[in-house]
């Protein structure tokens, strides 16, 4: 009951508010229509009173209807808006229905409105086309120009004849006959219809008229105009009209002499204009005036049509709003029940039941809703169980996805993809590591800018291989230079195409075979060294013993001369056998490198001991040693590491040829946990082509070198899971860099 009273009170307030709004709108409409009407009349539109009143009434009526429909439409929409803001049940549904009806009707209505407006505007503009008015004005100006030109011609001719008459003294009374003859000849010569001669007292002295033209309906020119011409000694003209046509008269004074301005008479020259031409000119003038009168109605007619179209448009919108509200009321109550039931179910109350009897589609909807509620209640537990299983599956799938991403990110093979223009799109960590690149710095760049000039030619030949586009893939082993280090890469190149076969780019998958090839070569050379040591070492000892026995037995028996030759030969045999033994021992040592025996040692002390040996024996060479106290004790084979250092220092000594500097520097990388040894000299350096094979067995740049020293160093470092590389020293010389993992 209380809700009913509050609703009734709100309804009374609403009605009172509507009455106030209607009163205010009536005042505004009255003032607006009056203002528009006055403006229409005061726009310089010289309309008859009846036409002005009619236009004013039509505009007022249209404006009142327009504002009335606008008020009704806005009233319903505002009412709906307030209900929606108050969150009244059913307000949102009514809003949607009204919006739907308004939208469905508004689009075609607006299209029709704008098309009609355009059509009306075009039609009115066509009716009052500017070229039409211009044509009428031009025609009228042509006619008026004809009169003016004819008048000027008559006056010009009159001045000529006046001069002749003045010079000849034709105005003397005794020469009247000559005057008549003169004006007859000149009328015919200048094709005039009449020439009259008057004295200064306006007495007719002579006249010549074309008999073919009837001028009886015309009088002599106006006496005042003739007197004024006599008094001022100036010419003038006059146009007389009749039903037969117009007569153009030119009045020219005749002077007593050429030097005197005394007027003794007047010449009146006349030209007849037929009525046909005059009527056409009058018709053009009347048509132009009528066109101006019709043009005055252009804006009022256009405004009236626009208002009418706006009224029709608002009427359609108003009907759409009213029909939407009417239709919404028929389904609001059941929908309210369904909305309430939906809210209850959304809050978890599955025991809600709608008790509503209806035989239409709403009843079917309610029954379906009740069945749905029951089904939801029965399946709630199943849904919760399914959600739990789904959550577990999602967790498992996410773990698998993360695992796959980790695997792809850490795959050993390098992967690089480029687009059709050769710009790098993707690069994985293995490729960055192999090529010493940073992905953030190479994305979007052309591969030629990244791989360097020394590798550009090989890459271009690889990418432009004709068989690549034909087969779609290509496999090739290539050599690339990365930071003065030559890598052997096995590259698999595949062409990328879309579903339509359009070329998108290339993807390159490559593996670093440098260490594999190096290991194969080292194993092969070890086998060669083992066989050489086995085959050569066995006969060396008997040869040496035989030479010693020959020397011991026959050295005293031979003469002095022969004894010296014999002694030199046996010494040569013994010395060369010793040299061969040393060489065989080198081969044997390389072939049977003992396995490393790592133990905690101080790298600074081991390197310092090796450097001290050369400082004592090569005092003329500058040997500089810089230790690093940051390097901790870690596991490595002391004897093998000392052997590696001795081989590197031997190479450095040979490079500087007994005069120069050798620097040995130690450092420690805390992030990577690696100890670094750098041995540099300022010798002649190593050419780039020799750097590729520097650590291969039996390759040497020295004349008498065995080519095993650096191979042994590389083997020792590799056995310690380290790396060794060679670089150019600046400004000259060579730098060997050893990196060892620190494992305490």
Neighbours of 494 (CB within 10 A): 17
Same domain flag for 491 and 436: yes
Closest CA to 380 of 392, 372, 390: 372
Contact assessment for residue 473 and residue 519, using Cβ atoms and an 8 Å cutoff: no
- Give the domain-ending residue among 494, 512, 530: 512
Round to whole Å and give the CA distance between 358 and 559. Answer: 148
Note whether residue 175 is domain-resident. Answer: yes
Reading phi first (left if > 0) and then psi (alpha if -120 to 50, else beta), residue 364 is in: alpha
Contact assessment for residue 589 and residue 647, using Cβ atoms and an 8 Å cutoff: no
Confidence of residue 1 (pLDDT cuts 50, 70, 90): very low
Q: Is 220 helix (H, G, I), strand (E, B) or coil?
A: coil
Tell me the CA end-to-end span of the chain in Å, nearest whole number.
Answer: 91
pLDDT of residue 61: 62
For the segment 516-575, what is each residue's pLDDT rounded down to a tens digit?
A: 766 666 666 665 656 565 556 556 667 666 767 777 766 666 666 666 777 777 777 776
Confidence of residue 201 (pLDDT cuts 50, 70, 90): confident
* H helical segments located in 207-297: 223-232, 275-296
Same domain flag for 9 and 122: yes
- Mean pLDDT is lowest, of 32-36, 489-493, 578-582, 684-688, for 32-36
Confidence of residue 177 (pLDDT cuts 50, 70, 90): confident
Q: How far is CA 659 from CA 619, 620, 652, in A?
A: 10, 7, 11
Number of C-alpha atoms within 13 angstroms, CB side, residue 312?
14
User: Which structure tokens are listed for 552?
Assistant: 């011991």
Asked if pLDDT for residue 341 goes beyond 50, the answer is yes
pLDDT of residue 737: 92
Buried b (16+ CB within 10 A) or exposed e, 239-274: ebeeebbbbbbbbbbbbbeeeeeebbbbbbbbbbbe
Taking residues 165-183, what's their average pLDDT? 79
Q: Is 253 helix (H, G, I), strand (E, B) or coil?
A: strand
Task: Return the top range by mean pLDDT from 139-143, 472-476, 718-722.
Answer: 718-722
For the segment 251-272, what is each residue's pLDDT rounded down to a tens digit?
A: 888 887 766 677 888 888 887 7
**Between 150 and 66, the higher pLDDT residue:** 150
Confidence of residue 44 (pLDDT cuts 50, 70, 90): very low
- Mean pLDDT is lowest, of 346-355, 447-456, 470-479, 583-592, for 583-592
Dihedral sign of CA atoms 495, 498, 501, 503 in order? negative
pLDDT of residue 633: 92
Same domain flag for 112 and 185: no
pLDDT of residue 96: 72
Share of the chain above pLDDT 70, in %: 60
Asked if pLDDT for residue 59 goes beyond 70, the answer is no
Same domain flag for 429 and 472: yes
The conformation of residue 594, written as its DSSP 8-state character, comes to: P
Neighbours of 548 (CB within 10 A): 14
Confidence of residue 5 (pLDDT cuts 50, 70, 90): very low
Q: E strand or H helix at 512, and its extent? A: strand 503-512
Asked if pLDDT for residue 496 goes beyond 90, the answer is no
Q: Cis peptide leading into 289, omega within 30 of 0?
A: no
Q: How many helices (H) and strands (E) does the chain have?
A: 20, 17
User: Which structure tokens are listed for 333?
Assistant: 């109550």
Note whether residue 319 is domain-resident. Answer: yes
Note whether residue 717 is domain-resident. Answer: yes
Confidence of residue 666 (pLDDT cuts 50, 70, 90): very high
Note whether residue 9 is domain-resident. Answer: yes
Strand order from edge to edge, sheet including 503-512: 424-427, 414-419, 503-512, 485-497, 473-482
- List strand residue ranges (DSSP E) for 590-657, in order: 599-601, 622-626, 634-636
For the segment 574-613, what is each residue's pLDDT rounded down to a tens digit?
A: 766 666 666 666 655 555 555 667 889 999 999 998 888 8
Note whether residue 394 is domain-resident. Answer: no
- Mean pLDDT is lowest, of 6-10, 148-152, 355-359, 718-722, for 6-10
Note whether residue 231 is domain-resident. Answer: yes
For the segment 267-294, what is each residue's pLDDT rounded down to a tens digit?
A: 888 877 776 666 666 666 666 566 666 6
Range of the domain at 470: 414-512
For the segment 615-660, what is each residue's pLDDT rounded down to a tens digit?
A: 877 777 888 999 999 999 999 988 888 888 888 888 888 888 777 8
Asked if pLDDT for residue 444 goes beyond 70, the answer is yes
Asked if pLDDT for residue 11 goes beyond 60, the answer is no
Asked if pLDDT for residue 366 goes beyond 50, the answer is yes
**Between 484 and 237, the higher pLDDT residue:** 237
Same domain flag for 234 and 311: no
For the segment 120-133, what is each residue's pLDDT rounded down to a tens digit?
A: 777 766 666 656 55
**Between 680 and 185, the higher pLDDT residue:** 680
Round to whole Å and give the CA distance between 576 and 566. Answer: 15
**Between 582 and 345, the higher pLDDT residue:** 345
Same domain flag for 203 and 244: yes
Q: What's the CATH number where 225 sits?
A: 3.30.450.20
pLDDT of residue 45: 43
Parallel, antiparallel or unpaired: strands 599-601 and 236-242: unpaired
pTM, entire model? 0.34
Same domain flag for 182 and 216: yes
Contact assessment for residue 686 and residue 563, using Cβ atoms and an 8 Å cutoff: no
Same domain flag for 534 and 421: no
**Between 461 and 35, the higher pLDDT residue:** 461
Q: What's the CATH number where 618 sits?
A: 3.30.565.10
Reading phi first (left if > 0) and then psi (alpha if -120 to 50, else beta), residue 403 is in: alpha
Note whether residue 407 is domain-resident. Answer: no
Same domain flag for 537 and 507: no
Contact assessment for residue 248 and residue 239, using Cβ atoms and an 8 Å cutoff: yes
**Between 67 and 194, the higher pLDDT residue:** 194
- Give the domain-ending residue among 457, 478, 512: 512
Same domain flag for 535 and 670: no
pLDDT of residue 395: 86
pLDDT of residue 27: 55
Same domain flag for 209 and 243: yes
- Give the domain-ending residue among 478, 512, 546: 512
pLDDT of residue 275: 64
Round to whole Å and give the CA distance between 414 and 665. Answer: 33
pLDDT of residue 131: 62
Neighbours of 80 (CB within 10 A): 22
pLDDT of residue 727: 87
Note whether residue 245 is domain-resident. Answer: yes
pLDDT of residue 42: 44
pLDDT of residue 65: 61
**Between 144 and 119, the higher pLDDT residue:** 119
Same domain flag for 161 and 229: yes
For the segment 347-358, what is each residue's pLDDT rounded down to a tens digit?
A: 877 777 777 666
Q: What are phi and psi of 582, to 5 degrees?
A: -60, -45
Q: How far is CA 386 from CA 134, 379, 380, 383, 389, in A?
A: 86, 10, 10, 5, 5
Domain count across the chain: 5
């Amino acid at each position: 009951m209380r809700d009913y009273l509050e609703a009734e009170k709100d309804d009374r307030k609403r009605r009172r508010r509507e009455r106030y709004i209607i009163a205010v709108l009536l005042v505004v409409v009255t003032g607006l229509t009056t203002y528009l009407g006055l403006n229409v009349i005061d726009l310089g539109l010289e309309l008859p009173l009846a036409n002005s009143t009619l236009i004013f009434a039509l505009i007022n009526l249209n404006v009142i209807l327009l504002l009335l429909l606008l008020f009704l439409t806005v009233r319903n929409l505002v009412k709906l808006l307030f209900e929606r803001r108050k969150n009244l049940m059913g307000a949102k549904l009514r809003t949607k229905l009204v919006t739907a009806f308004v939208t469905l009707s508004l689009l075609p209505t607006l299209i029709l409105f704008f098309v009609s407006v355009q059509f009306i505007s075009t039609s009115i503009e066509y009716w009052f086309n500017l070229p039409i008015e211009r044509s009428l004005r031009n025609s009228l100006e042509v006619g008026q120009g004809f009169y003016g030109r004819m008048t000027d011609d008559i006056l010009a001719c009159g001045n000529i004849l006046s001069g002749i008459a003045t010079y000849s003294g034709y105005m003397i009374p005794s020469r009247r006959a000559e005057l008549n003859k003169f004006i007859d000849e000149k009328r015919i010569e200048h094709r005039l219809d009449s020439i009259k001669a008057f004295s200064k007292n306006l007495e007719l002295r002579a006249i010549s008229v074309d008999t073919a033209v009837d001028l009886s309906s015309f009088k002599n020119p106006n006496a005042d105009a003739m007197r004024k011409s006599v008094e001022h000694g100036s010419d003038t003209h006059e146009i007389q009209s009749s039903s037969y046509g117009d007569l153009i008269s030119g009045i020219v004074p005749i002077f007593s002499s050429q030097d005197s301005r005394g007027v003794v008479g007047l010449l009146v020259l006349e030209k007849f204009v037929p009525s046909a031409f005059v009527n056409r000119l009058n018709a053009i003038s009347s048509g132009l005036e009528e066109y101006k009168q019709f043009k005055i109605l252009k804006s009022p007619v256009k405004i009236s049509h626009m208002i009418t179209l706006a009224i029709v448009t608002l009427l359609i919108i108003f009907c759409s709003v009213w029909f939407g509200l009417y239709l919404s009321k028929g389904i609001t109550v059941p929908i309210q029940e369904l909305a309430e039931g939906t809210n209850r179910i959304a809050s978890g109350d599955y025991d809600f039941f709608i008790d509503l009897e209806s035989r239409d589609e709403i009843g079917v909807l309610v029954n379906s809703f009740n069945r749905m509620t029951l089904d939801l209640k029965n399946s709630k537990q199943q849904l919760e169980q399914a959600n739990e299983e789904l959550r577990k599956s999602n967790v498992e799938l996410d773990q698998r996805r993360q695992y796959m991403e980790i695997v792809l990110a850490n795959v050993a093979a390098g992967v690089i993809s480029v687009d059709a223009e050769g710009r790098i799109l993707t690069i994985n960590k293995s490729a960055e590591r192999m090529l010493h690149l940073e992905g953030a710095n190479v994305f979007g760049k052309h591969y030629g800018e990244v791989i360097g000039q020394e590798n550009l030619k090989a890459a271009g030949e690889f990418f432009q291989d004709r068989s690549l586009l034909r087969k779609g893939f290509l496999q090739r082993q290539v050599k690339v230079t990365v930071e003065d280090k030559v890598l052997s890469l096995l590259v698999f190149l595949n062409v990328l195409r879309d579903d339509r076969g359009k070329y998108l780019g290339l993807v390159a998958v490559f593996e670093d075979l440098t260490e594999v090839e190096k290991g194969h070569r080292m194993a092969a050379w070890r086998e060669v060294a083992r066989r050489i040591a086995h085959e050569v070492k066995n006969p060396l000892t008997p040869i040496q013993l035989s030479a010693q026995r020959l020397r011991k037995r026959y050295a005293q028996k031979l003469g002095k001369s022969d004894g010296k030759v014999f002694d030199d030969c046996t010494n040569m045999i013994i010395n060369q056998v010793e040299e061969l033994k040393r060489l065989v021992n080198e081969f044997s040592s390389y072939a049977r490198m003992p396995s490393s025996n790592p133990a905690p040692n101080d790298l600074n002390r081991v390197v310092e001991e090796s450097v001290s040996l050369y400082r004592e024996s090569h005092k003329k060479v500058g040997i500089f040693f810089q230790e690093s106290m940051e390097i901790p004790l870690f596991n490595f084979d002391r004897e093998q590491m000392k052997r590696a250092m001795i081989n590197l220092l031997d190479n450095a000594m040979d490079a500087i040829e007994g005069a120069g500097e050798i620097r040995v520097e130690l450092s420690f990388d805390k992030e990577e946990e690696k100890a670094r040894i750098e041995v540099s000299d300022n010798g002649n350096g190593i050419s780039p082509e020799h750097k590729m094979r520097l650590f291969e067995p039996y390759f040497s740049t020295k004349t008498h070198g065995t080519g095993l020293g650096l191979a042994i160093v590389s083997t020792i470092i590799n056995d310690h899971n380290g790396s060794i590389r060679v670089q150019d020293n600046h400004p000259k010389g060579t730098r060997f860099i050893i990196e060892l993992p620190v494992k305490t």
